[in-house]
C-alpha cells in the first residue's frame, strides 16, 4: 500500500482536548479550550499549553503567569467545544455552561469542578514559536475527583471517559489495551499438581 506525501504539518493525533481556566487581574475568569498541551518532564513536574497571541486568554495568562489545565470527559464535550469557539470577550463561559468554579490551592485561578482532574500551573517561560506561543509551566498542585478512584486508591481513567481531539473531531477514549511494560512481562505458568 502506497503512502501519500503531504506538506509539513502536525500529525501527532489524537491529542488531549482540555479546558484551561485563567483569571485576569480584575478578577474576571475565562475558559479556553486547548489541544496543544502536554507533559514536559516529571521532576520537577512541568506541563505546557500553546496559545495563539490573538486569543483573549493569551494576555490574561501572560500577565498573571497562572492557569489551570482541566481534563475533559465525554459529558464535557459540548462545553469543551463551546469554550474553543466562543470568546471570553463576549460571554461568561462559566455562567453560559453552568460550570462550577472550585477554589484552587496554589494559584488564584478557579478549577472546573466538573473536570475529573485539575492541574494548577505557574508559568516559568514563554516561547514565541510562530502561530502559537508556548507557556512552559511548573505544576504546583493536582486535584483528582475521588469518584474516579478504584478500590486500590488509583485514579481510574476509564471511569472518567476522557475525550481526545483529532482533525476537528472529538472522540471518546476506548478500552484499556495493556499496562506499561506488559509486552515484556513474564507470563506466569501454573504448576501442575501431582
Summarize the confidence of residues 91-98 as an average pLDDT.
97
Show the domains of the chain with their CATH numbers.
15-172 (2.30.110.10)
Distance CA 120, CA 59 (A): 18
Report how far apart, in Å, the C-alpha atoms of 133 and of each of 18, 125, 175 are: 17, 10, 34
The alpha-helical segments, DSSP class H, found in the chain are 56-64, 77-85, 93-97, 157-160
pTM of this prediction exceeds 0.85: yes
Q: Which residue has the cell 470568546?
A: 87
pLDDT in tens, 97-127: 999 999 999 999 999 999 999 999 999 999 9
Q: Of 98, 41, 96, 109, which Cα lies nearest the Cα of 69? A: 109
Q: Are 137 and 47 in contact (CB under 8 A)?
A: yes
Beta sheet of 15-16, edge-to-edge order? 15-16, 163-166, 169-172
pLDDT in tens, 43-70: 999 999 999 999 999 999 999 999 999 9
Query: What is the percent of the chain with per-residue pLDDT over 70, rounded to a whole number?
Result: 96
Q: Which three cell numbers stand for residue 173?
A: 477514549
What are the φ/ψ torsions at residue 107 (nearest 5 degrees)?
-120, 175
Amino acid at each position: 500500500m502506497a503512502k501519500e506525501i503531504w506538506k509539513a504539518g502536525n500529525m501527532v493525533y489524537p491529542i488531549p482536548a482540555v479546558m484551561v481556566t485563567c483569571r485576569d487581574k480584575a478578577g474576571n475568569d475565562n475558559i479556553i479550550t486547548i489541544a496543544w498541551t502536554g507533559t514536559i518532564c516529571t521532576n520537577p513536574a512541568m506541563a505546557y499549553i500553546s496559545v495563539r497571541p490573538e486569543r483573549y486568554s493569551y494576555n490574561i495568562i501572560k500577565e498573571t503567569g497562572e492557569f489551570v489545565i482541566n481534563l475533559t470527559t465525554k459529558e464535557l464535550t459540548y462545553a469543551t467545544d463551546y469554550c474553543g469557539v466562543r470568546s471570553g470577550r463576549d460571554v461568561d463561559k462559566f455562567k453560559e455552561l453552568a460550570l462550577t468554579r472550585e477554589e484552587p490551592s496554589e494559584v488564584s485561578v478557579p478549577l472546573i469542578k466538573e473536570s475529573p482532574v485539575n492541574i494548577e500551573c505557574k508559568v516559568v517561560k514563554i516561547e514565541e514559536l510562530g502561530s502559537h506561543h508556548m507557556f512552559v509551566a511548573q505544576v504546583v498542585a493536582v486535584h483528582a475527583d475521588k469518584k474516579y478512584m478504584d478500590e486500590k486508591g488509583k485514579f481510574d481513567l476509564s471511569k472518567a471517559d476522557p475525550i481526545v481531539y483529532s482533525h476537528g473531531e472529538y472522540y471518546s477514549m476506548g478500552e484499556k489495551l495493556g499496562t506499561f511494560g506488559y509486552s515484556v512481562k513474564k507470563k506466569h505458568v501454573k504448576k501442575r499438581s501431582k
